[in-house]
Structure 1
Amino acid sequence: MTSIGITGHINISAGTVPLVDRAVRDLLAVVAPDELVGYSCLAAGADAIFAHAVLDLGGRLVALLPSADYREAKVAPEYRASFEQLIAAAAEVRVMPFSRASGDAYAAANDALLAAVDVVLAVWDGRPDRARGGTAEMVEKARSAGKRIHVLWPPGSTRT
């Protein structure tokens, strides 16, 4: 089994979506479908692109939701249908023990993801951020934990 987790930006531009999708699929394609297990918190943007790719390639998706209210509190109406599709298709859905979405809940979900995976895929522009549980923090934690990490930010990619 090859377990791969995703961290990445939510706010990638519309023109960046196909670039990231292609890069993610190219990386995942080297893993046999019956060996692929993808872990995602199912946020919009990079997490969703990765989750759809895992499923499309025949892998198993494990969803790690940061809090009990994540769907209601953080899933935007324009992303709701895709989110529900991913939840329904996930082989497993784990909810962190937080009633409300928060930086602590995101950090806990990231920690759970990091503990479960062999490889971390980061869709990251390389810039630091101050958000607890954000992409830059997750990349640093993955590096500190000695995880294999692939940072993807295809040429021409931008954030909104």
Structure 2
Amino acid sequence: MLATGGAYEVVLPAPDYRERAIPPAGRPAFDDLLGRAAEVVHTGFPHSGTAAYVAANRELVRRVHRLVAVWDGEAGCHEAATDRTVGWARQRSIPTTVLWPPGARRTRAD
């Protein structure tokens, strides 16, 4: 995105998202991407959790003109799962593209 002159915004569920959701090895890349964002939006939730993730997903859907989701098409196990976000976008007639690279599989995030 940046290499082509584009920009992006980040919606963070809560101030503790980095520590709660990003593994230590991924934090330098996370920090770099966050620092290059044109805007960083916060949901107002003090702590990460399902409610904060739902709010972030809804804010994301509210802001986009097109949604590109990396999703295997499987139903999620909570209200903030990708299937719910894709559903919200589709209900609002937001063009939605679902990508799932050949050979990709879910793994547990540690």
Structure 1 length-normalised TM? 0.63
Q: State whether structure 2 residue 8 is matched by structure 1 residue 61.
A: yes
Q: State whether structure 2 residue 53 is matched by structure 1 residue 111.
A: no
Equivalent residue for 2:38? 91
**Percent sequence identity over matched residues?**
39
Structure 1 stretches of 4+ with a deviation exceeding 6 A read none
Equivalent residue for 2:85? 138
AA of the residue aligned to 1:55: L
Equivalent residue for 2:24? 77
Segments of structure 1 that go 5 or more residues without pairing to the other structure are: 1-53
Structure 1 residue 156, shift from structure 2 partner: 2.0
AA of the residue aligned to 2:10: A
Equivalent residue for 1:149? 96
Q: List per-residue Cα deviations over 1:92-149 (Å, max 9, x = no partner).
A: 1111100000111011111111111110001111111112211111111111111100
Normalized per residue, which structure has more strand? 1
Q: Aligned residues, how many? A: 107
Whether the 8 Å CA contact 1:63–1:87 is kept in 2: the answer is yes
Structure 1 residue 57, shift from structure 2 partner: 2.6
Separation (CA, whole Å) in 1 of partners of 2:71 and 2:26: 21
Question: Structure 1 residues 116-125 or 68-77, which shifts more?
Answer: 68-77
CA RMSD of aligned residues (A): 1.1
Q: List per-residue Cα deviations over 1:7-37 (Å, max 9, x = no partner).
A: xxxxxxxxxxxxxxxxxxxxxxxxxxxxxxx
Structure 1 residue 59, shift from structure 2 partner: 0.8
Call closer, same or farther: CA 1:70–1:158 in 2, change over 3 Å: same
Q: Secondary structure at the match of 1:127?
A: coil
Separation (CA, whole Å) in 2 of partners of 1:149 and 1:142: 7
